[in-house]
């Protein structure tokens, strides 16, 4: 029995595939390799995955249900881990339609295939962006009915569809809500990788607000570990995966400066209306149900990320931010 992983060349998807294969699982991976951010980094991740045994890749879009069905007919799957998504809060305001077609409709395609081909387990990657405006630390039982970006709304739609398929067809679903994931080979549209590159190159970093906003940063290996643990049978559960310790952006920048041995220059911009001022995960459910806790501190994680950047600077310097 294989596991189908969507979004396999993505930041989190590639790490999930790597961990699954190294634990002895057969992984069939799909990705449409879109150019929302520079595909050079997706190619890098995928090249490393293709070196592994028991890893099979197809360039396919989850929006194309027929193409996904053709893959499902070739393999026998015990589970689907859906990590394919259009990410990015700000860009979702420029092109909301692609977020609904990928994040909501794409998820529906996969759920319907799981139903038709009797794939019992479904894991959906969701987001802490749904908690905007709620009391912290964010707990899974909070009502998340006021998404403040099309990105968050599209993920809310995907979660709601997951529950419908669980209720109607008995699909076992775990929804994992991620909190500010970072690490080596991270997305170049996210702050940590961008700040590392800009500070190293002596360019001003673009900082929305004054840096006092805080995030519950979570290292990618911890996130991938929690996602794999979410393959456990749960019925239907929503589970936060976060560091459980928010840090101000200014402290994160300080850590980058310390590890690079360089000082940041700043280009301050207004705080974005679709951003949230703080995130903080309550991870009691993850501890109880998945036996999961994050292991990598922000200090360790920033060092690992800076070290990766320095080791890969020869090609990463050409990656567009």
Active-site residues, by number, are: 151
Measured distance CA(220)–CA(177) in Å, rounded: 13
Tell me the CA distances in angstroms from 59 to 5, 105, 134, 206, 221, one per residue in order: 12, 18, 39, 34, 24
Instruction: Determine whether 175 is exposed, middle or buried from the number of CB atoms within 10 Å of its CB (0-12, 13-18, 19+).
Output: buried
| Nearest Cα residue to 225 out of 283, 128, 285, 294 | 294
Both structure tokens of 200: 């190293």
Q: Which residue has the tokens 């080596």?
A: 184
Q: Is 49 in contact with 14 (CB distance < 8 Å)?
A: yes
| Nearest Cα residue to 216 out of 271, 109, 294 | 294
Torsion sign, CA atoms 176, 209, 300, 279: negative
Q: Is 29 helix (H, G, I), strand (E, B) or coil?
A: strand
DSSP for 44-77, please give it. Answer: HHHHHHTTSTTEEEEE--TT-HHHHHHHHHHS-E
């Amino acid at each position: 029995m294989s596991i189908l992983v969507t979004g396999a060349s993505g930041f989190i998807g590639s790490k999930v595939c790597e961990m699954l294969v190294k634990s002895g699982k057969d992984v069939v991976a799909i990705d449409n390799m879109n150019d929302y951010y520079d595909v050079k980094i997706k190619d890098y991740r995928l090249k490393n995955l293709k070196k592994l045994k028991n890893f099979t890749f197809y360039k396919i879009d989850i929006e194309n249900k027929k193409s996904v069905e053709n893959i499902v007919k070739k393999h026998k799957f015990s589970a689907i881990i859906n990590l394919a998504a259009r990410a990015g809060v700000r860009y979702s305001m420029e092109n909301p339609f692609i977020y609904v077609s990928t994040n909501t409709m794409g998820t529906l395609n996969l759920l319907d295939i799981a139903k038709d081909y009797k794939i019992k387990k479904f894991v959906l990657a969701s987001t802490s962006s749904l908690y905007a405006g709620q009391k912290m630390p964010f707990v899974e039982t909070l009502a998340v009915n006021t998404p403040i970006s099309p990105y968050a709304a599209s993920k809310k739609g995907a979660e709601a569809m997951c529950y419908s398929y669980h209720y109607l067809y008995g699909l076992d679903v775990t929804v994992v809500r991620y909190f500010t994931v970072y690490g080596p080979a991270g997305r170049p549209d996210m702050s940590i990788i961008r700040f590392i590159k800009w500070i190293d190159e002596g360019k001003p970093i673009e900082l929305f607000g004054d840096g006092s906003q805080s995030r519950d940063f979570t290292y990618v290996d911890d996130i991938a570990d929690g996602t794999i643990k979410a393959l456990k049978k749960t019925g239907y559960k929503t589970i936060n995966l976060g560091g459980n310790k928010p840090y101000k952006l200014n402290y994160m920048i300080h850590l980058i400066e310390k590890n690079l041995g360089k000082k940041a220059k700043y280009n301050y911009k207004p705080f974005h209306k679709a951003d949230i001022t703080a995130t903080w995960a309550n991870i009691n459910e993850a501890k109880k149900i998945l036996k999961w806790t994050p292991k990598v501190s922000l200090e360790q994680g920033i060092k690992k990320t800076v070290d990766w950047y320095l080791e890969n600077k020869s090609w990463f310097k050409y990656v567009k931010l």
